[in-house]
């Protein structure tokens, strides 16, 4: 049997800084919306989304 290489978990870096900022802003807004969704308010998943949004905000502040 021959070896097969799986691409699961591979990471493709974002080379353009404009693309990186746009992607991070999108991710920030996405997690912020999920955190404020009434379904997740007061749950561990809601807190997770808030932490992720804060992390993206911190990275964006460091880039800009």
Per-residue pLDDT of the chain (64 residues; tens, 9 = 90+): 577 777 777 777 776 677 888 889 999 999 999 998 888 888 899 899 999 999 999 988 988 7
Residues 34, 39: Cα–Cα separation, whole Å? 9
Please list the alpha-helical segments (H only) found in the chain: 17-36, 44-63
Give me the torsion for CA of 15, 62, 11, 47, rounded to 10°. Answer: -150
Residues 45, 57: Cα–Cα separation, whole Å? 18
Q: What is the DSSP letter of 38?
A: T
Q: What is the pLDDT of residue 30?
A: 94
Q: What is the pLDDT of residue 55?
A: 94
Other Cβ atoms within 10 Å of 55 Cβ, number: 14
């Amino acid at each position: 049997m021959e070896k097969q290489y799986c691409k699961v978990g591979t990471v493709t870096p974002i080379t353009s800084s404009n693309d990186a900022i746009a992607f991070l802003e999108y991710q920030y807004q996405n997690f912020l919306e999920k955190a404020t969704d009434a379904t997740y308010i007061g749950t561990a998943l809601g807190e997770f989304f808030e932490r992720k949004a804060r992390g993206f905000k911190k990275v964006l502040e460091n880039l800009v």
